[in-house]
Chains A and B, each alone.
Chain A
């Protein structure tokens, strides 16, 4: 059952931008992040990683490490308990436990360079490092498979022993393609035959990393009573708990995950890497607390980047400007184990358009690179690049206005998405209209200085957003302030955007709330901060808890005034009945005779989330001599449903845009012939700096989400998608050549000019 709401429109709290409750802690250095955790008797762990991208482990000799002074424990795959071939939910994607274990620590094979092979715990960080390097491993090196073509080639060596692929329902052995699936409506071949123009292109893109500034970390204490305590930088403490429980065959009730602040995740901190290792090391070290912090090159080489891959895209259109059909093959890199974002890519790829006929075929392809993970709207940026590249060519070819063409074909309420789901009320058309009317779109591009050329690109994109499970507790204090507990990791101010929703219901200033995020023993289950779900889903839990608290307080008021609860009205923070009235904060101090403290708890599990659309306009300048690009103006238009905290909502959009521009223009995994990532540092993996970017303008369109009482939609992910194509089309306009490969780096621009 999906509840729908008539959206409220007059707000007291929602729509303001108060300072976040955790703000002072974070600007004074007092906030405790995972790396800051201390415990009495703490020792350090470190790991040994594979120098090869693909190899069989012949032997591991840990004796030298074990003999070293100051070493307390050494760990190899054999120390992990046997697990089932079972799949569990990790929040943004699933984890197969047996493969998950092999990803945390290699079993018989290493599947990518940097794959963990062994671990040690020692008296300090330096000793642990030296001891880990003293472990000797013999490998039989195998050829490294670095892209989808090589992985899918006839006779390619199989990366995952025993993998049986599911290819459109058929079991296929000896393959690197874990899954092939299809969504199909109508007959695409007939529709293409009847189209006035058909354009087919194949685009490709490299693997990219989320690039969170805080590396992964974990601290664990395995008590003598088998109670396990964990601190780890994560987008969801409960996700850590369920993965550690599954991977270590340990009861969830015996695992406590403490909340620590998280220094960025973008999807990449939904998977566990170090926590199970810290736990087992602690057990072997007699219950000493063990801490691990990943080094930056390992974050690049051995965590979960976004898949690169190849996308074939074919679109048929008529001269009247209506798309007739679209067909795509999405081949995305899963990395060393199955499970890329290709499923989500398939959902998103055609979601901006109302297509009568469509076919989507997805391929989940193993390569000798780290196991990919979620990265902000996983799969959608790649898919958006593919379709928007072809749409742009269609508009150029037939002379269509790029916004009007999109409006004429836009998805709206009732449109069938490429995977068959029908849209409820969505805001793509409103975004396109806002783009059309924007100052940016109506301003000339302006002249470039000598030796440079300018271009403008526009692109749209979609993300479905997430719902799922969340919990919120409210405890009204005697002085009228409110303690609010909720389970969502706060990566960008969500303590406040969640509290604001309870504050709106209760009519209590949000400054009088104290929101906190307790450990997994002290709050009901709450999913990861991912899928753009937190302000929407945990916010709805807060809204529901506040509504429950109002019901409770009405009966308390009735008690005090010796009347029926049904006679008590509540509006704008004031209870009234029979001419009496009392403010909620004043009432808080008078509750003792009515039964004591007033609290309320709500948990939700939301099947649907509404949807997010963004349209973005990019002006950039190309230096014809060097190929260097500079973004000179950028506008991001997005349907945000209702901006709970407009300043933080805008920040999400700006941050997403800049990540997308990095993806479009610079960022890539540069893989050598032997399968190593050559650019595994922040210096060489060139993320945008403050000097590379202009101010990012935003236009927030508010088409209320019918699934939320305040119309809230998830907003965090969709803004990363349009920049890939918007920037590429701007470069195309500047230099007069199309680009089908990401990133559109200076070298590629120069090459294209010399062609």
Chain B
């Protein structure tokens, strides 16, 4: 809202290792906070109702749909997005495996899958195919049929 909107919320948060101080409208999702206020558009919008996973980010190490979290809620927390996966040394092994295994076609689901898969591998070093499929079931991909995405995650394990 414009003139008569409730006042903005002061938020201090760490995003991909960098501290940000923000004034966030109280209704604004974390997704829009990242995309519109910070300019990190790698996190994608697919549905805005928690059913596609394109907006997946991690908050204090937990995987969330950022469209269902308010920007105001990440005060004092650590947010990690796809933009934070690669290092100056190179791509994250999952990113490299996604390229080598052709795990993306249009690529709109890819940031969400990468962040979600990283959330799995950070906690479970060698999940089975079934476990990978179960973990990633909150992320929709309409292009690949999932075969090559699952194989890419398996490859990143090795």
Contact = CB atoms under 8 A, between A and B. Distances in A.
Interface of A: 17, 19-20, 22-24, 26-33, 35-36, 38, 69-70, 122-127, 130, 210-215, 261-266, 293, 295-296, 491-493, 647-648, 650-652, 654-659, 681-683, 687-691, 693, 695-696
B107 A31 contact: yes
Nearest to A492: B105
Chain B interface mostly helix, strand, loop or mixed? loop
Contacts of B149: 690
A650 B134 CA distance: 23
Interface in B112-158: 114, 132-134, 136-151
Cβ-closest 6 pairs across A and B: A29-B42, A263-B108, A658-B145, A26-B107, A682-B51, A492-B105
B42 A28 contact: yes
A27 B99 contact: yes
B145 A657 contact: yes
Nearest to B95: A27
B58 interface: no
Contacts of B137: 689-691
Interface in B68-122: 81-83, 85-86, 91, 95, 98-102, 104-111, 114
Contact of B102 (A124, A493, A656, A693): A493
Name which of B101, B138, B147 has the most chain A CB atoms within 10 A of its CB.
B147
B3 interface: yes
A32 B44 contact: no
A30 B111 CA distance: 10
A682 B105 contact: no
B44 A296 contact: no
Contacts, number: 195
A22 B85 CA distance: 17
Interface in B37-76: 39-49, 51-52, 54
10 contacts: A28-B42, A29-B40, A29-B111, A70-B2, A213-B109, A264-B106, A492-B105, A681-B49, A682-B52, A690-B141
B114 A681 contact: no
Nearest to A647: B102
Contact of B134 (A27, A211, A691): A691
Nearest to B39: A38
Contact of A213 (B5, B108, B133, B134): B108
Contacts of B27: 126
Contact of A264 (B1, B114, B142): B142
Nearest to A122: B2
Contacts of A296: 46-49, 51-52
Nearest to B49: A681
Contacts of B114: 27
A31 B4 CA distance: 36
A29 B82 contact: yes
A19 B148 contact: no
Contacts of A27: 82, 91, 95, 98-99, 104, 107, 110, 114
A262 B47 contact: no
A338 B79 CA distance: 49
A317 B99 CA distance: 50
A28 B39 contact: no
